[in-house]
Chain A
Amino acid sequence: MRLSQAAGRRLVAGIPTAWLLLLFLVPFLIVFRISFSEVRLAIPPYTPLITWHHGSPGLELHWSAYRFLLTDSLYVSSYLYSLKVAAVSTLCCLLIGYPMAYAIARSSPSTRSVLLMLIVLPFWTSFLLRVYAWIGLLNNNGVINNVLLYLGVIHHPLALMQTDFAVYIGIVYSYLPFMILPLYANLEKHDPALLEAAADLGARPLRAFLRITLPQSYAGILAGSLLVFIPAVGEYVIPTLLGRTDQLMIGRVLSDEFFENRDWPLASAVAILILLLLLVPILLFQRVQGRELEASK
């Protein structure tokens, strides 16, 4: 009986662990290894991962992909541009999402569930189609330009598409629920008695907010910001549909190296460098997430 229970537990934990080892962890090791090979015309298009010399296996490491990445200004500027776009978008999400989450947390329980559903509903409809919808709004003959022209605010259509602005709009629009939900989960737990006490003691609303609400919500801000920032750095669809053509984001560069240039080692090296950039944010996110799940006990 005891033995079978232990075996059962091992099975329950072991099956998903084995799945993720094979389809999540091992793939990264392969990417890591291939980033150290060289491109060649073959199937698959890279030098073999293990070379055999007189029957003994050897590892040949080529640094050419990394050398190329770090010396070509195209890649460096793509990395920096991606970080900038992700940071600005995260900040915008926070500035828009915080008051929204605050208002939801302060409303009555029945309104609250309706509002939460309204926030989540767009998330359930296709991400791709929601980004696509912005093309119709931002185009030269799109809805926004037509309305502004009709109202006489402008006399020539504004160039809104293929700009940084369009990418910010797209990212903020797509990732806003990811910012609002953790913020809401945090703000909802605050005790309103603290704010009342502050008001009784003569604190102005702004001061009470800055000294009480804001510090208490740091965990929510951190979780929401990481949920937006990390995927935004590697975003592919939004900059491809809405963004500039003269400055690519790094996710697009990776995809182009892979599909257009068929340079698998270089694409792998790009991936490894993105991961290195995101290592600290990802570890931070895992800690926040782990603590959140422990706290709900």
Chain B
Amino acid sequence: MKRATIRAALVLVFFVAGCGRHAATIDGGGTPVQDSGTGGFSLRLTGVDKGNFVSARMRIQSLQVTSGGTVLANAPHTPEVDLAEMGQAYLLASFQPPAGVDDVEFAVSFEKGMVATETASFSVDSRCQTLHLAGKVSKIAERKHAVIQLDVARSFVPSSAGLMLVPHFQLVY
């Protein structure tokens, strides 16, 4: 009995610790990289701190993963995300960096979006708000993924025409 309890605890540790700082549900219709058999990495997008928003649906216009000018992924795996769904980490891309490279560059742009609170909904002006960032391959390799954590409450800012996307995020490994 005691052995079973310890085993259960270790299993719990394995699953929770394995998720690191971003314990999120794998979603987006794609196969998680660790199960893909390609040995590749994944880039995911999740919302954190949704504030008063009950939904934050954004369409992904484009996605590109590059390394030293080589394109590793060139289309979003998940075309639409709801960033107010806390704990959902949407798969944006699977990729395999070439041997010997230190960094990969990510570019994610949004087409349009609609966000809602309990009482109102707003269109989102996301023009030109491309997320450009770079990730360390050695760090991504630790868990086979990089996760963009978009701060929902801070990133949708009121303007006269609705809400503006002003991206505040963290990239974690």
A and B: interacting chains: no
